[in-house]
Structure 1
Amino acid sequence: MTAPRIVHGGGIAAASQRFGGRPEDWLDLSTGINPNPAALPEVDVAAWHRLPDRHRQDAARAAAAGYYGTSGALPLPVPGTQSVIQLLPRFVAAGRRAAVVSPTYGEYARVLENAGVAVDRIAGLNAVSDAHDLVVVVNPNNPDGRLFSREALLDLHRRVAGSGGLLVVDEAFGDMRPEATIAPLAGDNMPGLLVFRSFGKFFGLAGLRLGFVIGEAPVVDRVEDGLGPWAVSGPALTIATGLMTADTTAIRRSIDARKAALESVLAGAGLDIVGGAGLFALVDRADAPAIHEGLCRRHILVRPFDYNARWLRFGLAPDATSDARLAAALAEVTAGR
Structure 2
Amino acid sequence: MPQHISPEPDLRHHGDAEVRGMGAELTDLAVNVRAGTPPRWLRERLAASMDTLAAYPDGRAARRAVALRHGLPEERVLLTAGAAEAFVLLARTIEAKRCVVVHPQFTEPEAALRNAGHEVERVLLRAEDGFRLDPRAVPGDADLVVIGNPTNPTSVLHPATSLARLARPGRTLVVDEAFMDAVPGEGESLASRTDLPGLVVLRSLTKTWGLAGLRVGYVLASPGRISRLERAQPLWPVSSPALVAAEACSAPPALAEAGHAAHRIAADRAHLEYRLAKFPSVTVCSPASGPFVLIRLPGATAVRSRLRGLGFAVRRGDTFPGLGPDYLRLAVRDRATTDRFAEALEQALGG
TM-score by length of 1: 0.86
Q: Counterpart of 2:130?
A: none
Match runs of 1:180-191 below 5 Å: 180-186=188-194, 190-191=196-197
- Matched with 1:198 is 204
- For the aligned residues, what is the CA RMSD? 2.5
Matches within 5 A, 1:259-274: 259-270=269-280, 271-274=282-285
Provide the residue aligned with 1:152 in structure 2.
162
Distance across 2 between alignment mates of 1:264 and 1:93: 46
Amino acid at match of 1:145: S
* 1:173/1:277 contact within 8 Å kept: no
Match for residue 331 of structure 1?
346
Contact 2:18/2:314 (8 A) holds in 1: no
CA–CA separation in structure 2 for the residues paired with 1:2 and 1:333: 32
Name the CA distance, whole Å, in 2 between partners of 1:118 and 1:278. Answer: 30
Which SS does the other structure have where 1:219 is aligned?
helix
CA distance in 2 between partners of 1:156 and 1:13 (Å): 37
Report the CA distance between 1:254 and its aligned residue.
3.2
Gapped runs of 5+ residues in structure 2? 125-133
Q: Which runs of 4+ in 1 moved over 6 A?
A: none
Which residue matches 1:255?
265
- 2:225 aligned partner: 219
- Contact 1:78–1:212 (Cα < 8 Å) also in 2: yes
Q: Structure 1 residues 58 and 71, CA, compared in 2 at 3 Å: closer, same or farther?
A: same
Indicate how the Cα distance of structure 1 residues 165 and 272 shifts in structure 2: closer, same or farther if over 3 A, else same.
Answer: same
Q: Percent identity?
A: 32
Residue segments in structure 1 that go unaligned for 5+ positions in a row: 17-21
Distance 1:212 1:33 in 2: 17
Cα drift, residue 130 of structure 1: 4.6
Tell me the alpha carbon deviations over residues 40-71 of structure 1, each in whole angstroms, 9 at most, x when there is no partner.
Answer: 15234443332212xxx222122222333436
Partner Cα separation in structure 2 for residue 101 and residue 61 of structure 1? 29
1:334 aligned partner, one-letter code: L
Q: Tell me which amino acid in the other structure corresponds to 1:28.
A: D
Match of 2:100 in 1: 99
Aligned match of 1:19: none
Q: Tell me the amino acid that sits aligned with residue 122 of structure 1.
A: V
Helix, strand or coil for the counterpart of 2:330?
A: strand
Aligned residue in 2 for 1:76: 78
Deviations 1:2-34 (A, max 9, x none): 966521102255574xxxxx2x32111112221
Matches within 5 A, 1:1-337: 6-12=12-18, 14=20, 16=22, 22=23, 24-39=24-39, 40=42, 41-42=44-45, 43-53=48-58, 57-70=59-72, 74-93=76-95, 96-123=97-124, 124-158=134-168, 162=169, 164-177=170-183, 178-186=186-194, 190-245=196-251, 246=253, 247-248=256-257, 249-270=259-280, 271-275=282-286, 276-306=288-318, 307-317=323-333, 319-336=334-351
Distance 1:34 1:299, change over 3 A: same
- Give the conservation status (yes or no) of the 8 Å contact 2:93–2:229: no
SS at match of 2:144: strand
AA in 2 matched with 1:82: A
What is the TM-score of this pair, normalised by structure 2?
0.82
Letter in 1 for 2:248: G
Shift of 1:241: 1.4
* Alpha-carbon shift at residue 267 of structure 1 (Å): 2.7
